[in-house]
Amino acid sequence: MDEAPGRTVSADQETDTQYVEEWVSGTEVPDEMATGEGAQEMALQESGYRFREQLGAVVTDDYLYEEEVSEDERMIINMGPQHPSTHGVLRLQLELEGEMIKRCKPVIGYLHTGMEKTAETLTFMQGPTNVTRMDYLAPLHNELAFSLATEKLLGVEVPPRAAAIRVLMTELNRISSHLVALATNGMDIGAISMMMYGFRERELILAFFEKTTGLRMNHNYIRPGGVAADLPPGWRQDVANILKTIPARLGQYDDLLKENPIWLSRTQGVGVITAKECRAYGITGPILRGTGVEWDLRKVFPYSGIDQYEFDVPVGAHGDVYDRYRVRVEEIIQSLRIVEQAAERMPKGDFRADDRKVTPPPRARIDESMEALIHHFKIFTEGFRPPPGEAYTAVESPRGELGCYLVSDGGGKPWRCHIRAPSFYNLQALPVMLAESMVADTIATIASLDPVMGDVDR
Amino acid sequence: MARRSTPGNIVTTTIDWAARWAQTQSMWPATFGLACCAIEMMATGTAHNDLARFGMEVFRASPRQADLMIVAGRVSQKMAPVLRQVYDQMPEPKWVISMGACASTGGMFNNYALVQGVDQVVPVDMYVPGCPPGPQSLMHGILTLQRQIMTGQKVSG
Ligand code: SF4
């Protein structure tokens, strides 16, 4: 017990400590004590160590006086579900020994919405409306995973322009999600300015999303067969503006955090996890890459033609909170690269598949053609019927592997829909990361996981 | 600000009016983010939208220091008792804003898991529609609630 830093007892202190050990509360008060106030007693100047302790000149804790920690010193406290730093409604049970966490148990389900069940009552066409509300910081990734799975069931190819729009939008979404992660991570550790900065830049991207999709969040924009609408007029200007503004602002964040000594001491060596543990728990995303593993689904299982874009996979080395923060910042830079390329080479053509059984006809055709009207009506009332079978597709969401597993029985609605939610798996890492760490590090660690409870509980 | 003012820098008012004015101008919300709507609530409080203009930027982590609960998001059956407990811990006078379709009616999730409207659990003073309501909608809801407190009467939209 004495080896722990801050707990070493010098010879001088040892003799002083004797005094405290000799006096037990409730027994006769030794002469040095002026009043009978027991442990709250103001120590006399002659009492040496105890006096210095009360002055604040030495820092000690209760273990100094005891060899064994009794059962009563262990305390189980409850954190959440209503807690400002648990990122939603996460509840943790922590077993503490003084300031040290001995065990940690996440309790989830406070946001269980039954979305997978709801998906069985919605047609494939309506599906993205539902899944977009799961991981509400990366709604477009949810829609993409669902749409890719549906297209795999149908065997439909989307036109190149639709694929490029999907890449453009999801990468912008990755930036906005990482900005929120940085903002909340900063705020939880006390860098409140980061909160303001992160949300300021997010507004920029959200304004573009609102212009394109009609909504700031929960867009229902990426749908089976393509996207809901073409990019709005003037989109090049908006994207160029984003590409110009954000790199400059990233410099501001670096000024604020990158070498800030308080930030470094709160994040480096905190919440450490190894690559092996990550693999054992199925952890993906920036947490896995923070340990130095170059695993990114955009590289290993590319989707939407993302293998034609040039970008790097940033990795960390130590698997701690700081490395995860760095990986996210670097990923913003890489996503900006992809956005730039997507904007440059945006192909001309249709923004959704030209398959009247899957996608609605253009609005103008409905006034002219009876068939178009019938197709329109059929798609929005009963949808389409993929052949029986099952499909699993996964995309790299800002939090890791986001997969969608769909089973079709030949009807218009999925027979079963399951989402492999990255936050759910990443959250399992908490007990590993928090074991034998300080209570204050809990906050930093949770924030660095960037869990979205809607994604965990669904 | 003043009801009647007489020359010579004297302001007269009633205690009732002054108390209501104070309540409106420094309403502290409890941080009670549940789901997607909470992100918009955060966006309302931070740069660009800046809730501080209405004296409400002080989001209190402890319900005991808060007098407004913004129920931002869907309330699951498991969360409902917690929500009620937080509400009970808030000191009087207190108000509740139900933000978003889910909190108000269950939204698009009419299933086993969600409470179909938070007004089944706590009394709601103001409903803010939308999925999610944008920061402007939330601010409009807050300002309407302030007007309601000030006049002591139900105000619509
Ligand atoms: S109303 Fe919409 S945005 Fe708000 S919690 Fe419900 S699904 Fe999410």
Most confident of A19-28, A349-358, A404-413, B4-13: A404-413
Q: Of the ranges A154-168, A350-364, A400-414, B90-104, which one carries the lowest mean pLDDT score?
A: A350-364
Q: Mind giving me the DSSP string for chain B?
A: --SEEETTTEEE--HHHHHHHHHHHT--EE--B-SHHHHHHHHHHSTTT-GGGGT----BSSGGG-SEEEEES--BTTTHHHHHHHHHHSPSS-EEEEEHHHHHH-TT--STTB-S-GGGTS--SEEE-SSSPPHHHHHHHHHHHHHHHHHTS----
Spatial separation of the C-alpha atoms in residues A305 and A175, rounded to whole Å: 19
**Amino acid present at B1:** M
Query: Can you tell me the mean pLDDT for B146-157?
Result: 77
- Whether residue A133 is contained in a domain is answered as yes
- Whether B36 is in the pocket of ligand 1, judged by its Cβ within 6 Å, is yes
Cα(B37) to ligand 1 centroid in Å equals 5
Q: Confidence class of residue A17 from pLDDT cuts 50, 70 and 90?
A: very low
Query: Can you tell me the mean pLDDT for A438-447?
Result: 86
3-state secondary structure of A407: strand
- Whether residue A63 is contained in a domain is answered as no
> Can you give the pLDDT at residue A45?
61
- Whether residue A451 is contained in a domain is answered as yes
Cβ A404 vs Cβ A130: under 8 Å: no
Q: Confidence class of residue A28 from pLDDT cuts 50, 70 and 90?
A: low
Q: Of the ranges A39-43, A51-55, A246-250, B94-98, which one carries the lowest mean pLDDT score?
A: A39-43
Cβ A135 vs Cβ B36: under 8 Å: no
- Whether residue A146 is contained in a domain is answered as yes
**Could you give the count of Cα atoms lying within 13 Å of A234 in the half-sphere of its Cβ?**
7
Q: Is the confidence at residue A421, as pLDDT, over 50? A: yes
Mutation to probe ligand 1, out of B74, B97, B116 (largest number of atoms < 8 A from CB): B74
B65 contacts chain A (CB < 8 A): no
What predicted TM-score, i.e. pTM, was given to this entire model?
0.81
- Whether B126 is in the pocket of ligand 1, judged by its Cβ within 6 Å, is no
Paired strand residues for A416? A407
- Whether residue A103 is contained in a domain is answered as no
> Can you give the pLDDT at residue A434?
83
Distance from CA of A176 to the nearest CA of B (A): 12
Give the mean pLDDT of chain B: 83
Q: Name every residue whose Cβ is closer than 8 Å to that of residue B126 and which is 6 or more positions away in sequence.
A: B95, B96, B97, B98, B141, B142, B144, B145, B148
A180 contacts chain B (CB < 8 A): yes
- Whether B35 is in the pocket of ligand 1, judged by its Cβ within 6 Å, is yes
Query: Can you tell me the mean pLDDT for B80-89?
Result: 87
- Whether residue A377 is contained in a domain is answered as yes
Spatial separation of the C-alpha atoms in residues A421 and A116, rounded to whole Å: 12
Write out the E strands in A264-323.
Answer: none
Q: Name every residue whose Cβ is closer than 8 Å to that of residue A266 and which is 6 or more positions away in sequence.
A: A189, A190, A321, A441, A444
Query: Can you tell me the mean pLDDT for A407-418?
Result: 89
Write out the E strands in A115-264.
Answer: 222-223, 226-227
Cα(B43) to ligand 1 centroid in Å equals 15
> Can you give the pLDDT at residue A171?
92
> Can you give the pLDDT at residue A25?
47
Q: Confidence class of residue A75 from pLDDT cuts 50, 70 and 90?
A: confident
Cβ A230 vs Cβ B77: under 8 Å: no
B42 contacts chain A (CB < 8 A): yes
Q: Tell me the two tokens of residue A222.
A: 């990426």
Q: Name every residue whose Cβ is closer than 8 Å to that of residue A55 and which is 6 or more positions away in sequence.
A: none
Give yes or no for a cis peptide into B29 (omega within 30° of 0): no
> Can you give the pLDDT at residue A384?
84
Cβ A421 vs Cβ A165: under 8 Å: no
Query: Can you tell me the mean pLDDT for B149-154?
Result: 78
Task: Give residue-wise pLDDT tens across range A241-261.
Answer: 999 989 888 888 888 888 888
For chain A, how are helix, strand and coil distributed in percent, rounded to 5?
Answer: 50, 10, 40
> Can you give the pLDDT at residue A318?
86
Distance from CA of A3 to the nearest CA of B (A): 37
Cα(B100) to ligand 1 centroid in Å equals 6
Query: Can you tell me the mean pLDDT for A36-63?
Result: 53
Spatial separation of the C-alpha atoms in residues B53 and B57, rounded to whole Å: 8
**In chain A, what residues touch B47 (CB-CB under 8 Å)?**
196-197, 199-200, 203
Q: Is the confidence at residue A357, as pLDDT, over 80? A: no
Task: Give residue-wise pLDDT tens across range A167-215.
Answer: 999 999 999 999 988 888 888 888 888 888 888 888 889 999 999 988 8
The total of other beta-carbon atoms located within 10 Å of residue A390's CB is 15
Asked if the Cβ–Cβ distance from B78 to A109 is below 8 Å, we say yes
Cβ A256 vs Cβ A193: under 8 Å: yes
- Domain containing A297 equals 117-432+441-457
Q: Is the confidence at residue A2, as pLDDT, over 60? A: no
Asked if the Cβ–Cβ distance from A81 to B33 is below 8 Å, we say no
Structural domain count of chain A = 1
Name which residue leads in pLDDT, A458 or A16. Answer: A458
Query: Can you tell me the mean pLDDT for B132-140?
Result: 88
Between β-strands A416-420 and A400-408, what pairing exists: parallel, antiparallel or unpaired? antiparallel
DSSP structure class, residue A351: S
Q: Which of B36, B42, B63 sits opposite A454 (nearest CB)?
A: B36
Cβ A400 vs Cβ A287: under 8 Å: yes
CA A429 vs CA A89, A300, B152: distances in Å: 17, 23, 51
> Can you give the pLDDT at residue A189?
85
Task: Give residue-wise pLDDT tens across range A142-165.
Answer: 999 999 999 988 888 888 889 999
Residues in chain B: 157
CATH number of the domain encompassing residue A132: 1.10.645.10
- Whether residue A18 is contained in a domain is answered as no
Q: Of the ranges A100-109, A397-406, A438-447, which one carries the lowest mean pLDDT score?
A: A100-109
Task: Give residue-wise pLDDT tens across range A212-238.
Answer: 988 888 888 998 888 888 888 888 899
> Can you give the pLDDT at residue B142?
87
Q: Complex ipTM above 0.90?
A: no
Name which residue leads in pLDDT, B4 or B14. Answer: B14
Q: Of the ranges A55-64, A365-374, A397-406, which one carries the lowest mean pLDDT score?
A: A55-64
Spatial separation of the C-alpha atoms in residues A220 and A133, rounded to whole Å: 9
Name which residue leads in pLDDT, A55 or A436. Answer: A436
Asked if the Cβ–Cβ distance from B113 to A133 is below 8 Å, we say no
Cβ A145 vs Cβ A393: under 8 Å: yes
Query: Which residue has a Cα nearest atom 5 of ligand 1?
Result: B73
- Whether residue A344 is contained in a domain is answered as yes
Q: Is the confidence at residue A68, as pLDDT, over 60? A: no
The angle subtended at Cα A348 by Cα A342 and Cα A349, nearest 5°, is: 125
Q: Is the confidence at residue A350, as pLDDT, over 60? A: yes
Instruction: Say what percent of chain B tops pLDDT 70.
Output: 93
